[in-house]
């Protein structure tokens, strides 16, 4: 992708932004860096390279899978109680609402924490998420399937959609689906630029920065 999308494209290389899809944990909410380690400890996952959901899916019995899922839910319940909104969340959602840009959520979390975030931190007039895909939708990120599903439901092309997230899974999902990608920077994900920088079109530290990116457009050099 040689240049970023614009809300109202002025150059042939720009694509209109019709939809933005957000990850939740660490994207719409402030990162809780303790959470994933707590999940791994709770289910006995020692391999740091093994995906948590894949590990649970591959447990040898339904009883073990159910027990592991319950442990994960307990950690998520604690995280939900401590959840805080990402800086710039309300400003960005208000902007997208005024300009009629579709918003959706694609998360590997459950629907309850998503509903909690929306109820607690999203103004009622901005609660217009067209699609909310949780880990009940399979395959999950980093597969492109969730974003392709959302694009299909909205009847738009992936090139007119942006994936906003804070992890490799988010960036890989967006790139594979043909969407633009925006990384929400935090204190733990800087290494993504070193190994997976080719998946990232731009990066922000405050969600409100996305407003200028959509308005003005940018090239890949802006991710530095």
Confidence of residue 9 (pLDDT cuts 50, 70, 90): confident
Domain check: are 26 and 115 in the same one? yes
The phi and psi torsions of 129 (rounded to 5 degrees) equal: -70, 120
Catalytic choice (25, 166, 170, 201): 25
Residue 3 falls inside a structural domain:
no
Query: What's the domain count of the chain?
Result: 2
Name the pLDDT band for 59 (thresholds 50, 70, 90): very high
Q: What is the pLDDT of residue 51?
A: 87
222 a catalytic residue: no
* 166 part of the active site: no
Confidence of residue 33 (pLDDT cuts 50, 70, 90): confident
The reply to whether 90 and 199 lie within a common domain is: yes
Answer whether residue 45 is part of any domain: yes
H/E stretch holding 213 reads: helix 209-216
Across-strand partners of 16?
6
| Average pLDDT of the chain to the nearest whole number | 91
- Compute the radius of gyration of the chain from its Cα atoms: 17
- The verdict on residue 145 lying in a domain is yes
Whether 71 and 115 map to the same domain: the answer is: no
* Same structural domain, 190 and 172: yes
Place of tokens 């719409």: 28
Q: Are residues 76 and 119 in the same domain?
A: no
Note whether residue 10 is domain-resident. Answer: no
Phi, then psi, of 161 in degrees rounded to 5? -130, 150
Which structural domain range is residue 52 located in?
34-81
163's enclosing H/E stretch is strand 161-165
**Statement to judge: residues 107 and 23 lie in one domain:** yes
Look at 31-35, 58-62, 87-91, 144-148 and tell me which has the smallest mean pLDDT: 31-35
Spot the catalytic one: 23, 166, 170, 201: 23
pLDDT mean over 28-51: 89
Residues 167, 208: one domain? yes
**Residue 13 maps to a domain:** no
pLDDT higher than 90, residue 160: yes
Q: Taking the chain, what is the end-to-end CA distance rounded to the nearest angstrom? A: 16
Residue 2: pLDDT above 70? no
DSSP string spanning 169-183? Answer: HHHHHHHHHT-EEEE
pLDDT band of 111, cuts 50, 70, 90: very high
Is the same domain home to 198 and 181? Answer: yes
Where would I find the H helices in 82-208? 89-98, 111-121, 145-154, 168-177, 192-196
């Amino acid at each position: 992708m040689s240049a970023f999308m614009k809300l109202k494209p002025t150059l042939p290389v720009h694509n209109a932004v019709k939809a933005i899809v957000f990850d939740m944990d660490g994207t719409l909410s402030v990162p809780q860096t303790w959470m994933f380690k707590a999940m791994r400890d709770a289910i006995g996952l020692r391999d740091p390279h093994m995906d948590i959901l894949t590990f649970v899916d591959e447990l040898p019995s339904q009883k073990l899978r159910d027990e592991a899922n319950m442990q994960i839910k307990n950690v998520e319940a604690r995280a939900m109680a401590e959840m805080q909104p990402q800086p710039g969340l309300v400003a960005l959602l208000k902007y997208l609402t005024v300009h009629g840009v579709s918003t959706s959520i694609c998360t590997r979390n459950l629907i309850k924490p998503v509903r909690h975030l929306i109820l607690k931190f999203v103004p009622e007039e901005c609660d217009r998420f067209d699609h909310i895909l949780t880990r009940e939708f399979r395959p999950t990120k980093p597969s492109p399937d969730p974003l392709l599903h959302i694009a299909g439901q909205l009847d738009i092309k992936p090139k007119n959609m942006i994936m906003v997230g804070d992890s490799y899974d988010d960036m890989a999902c967006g790139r594979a689906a043909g969407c633009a990608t925006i990384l929400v920077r935090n204190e733990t994900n800087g290494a993504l630029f070193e190994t997976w920088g080719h998946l990232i079109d731009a990066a922000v530290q405050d969600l409100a920065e996305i407003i200028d990116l959509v308005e003005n457009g940018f090239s890949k050099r802006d991710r530095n």
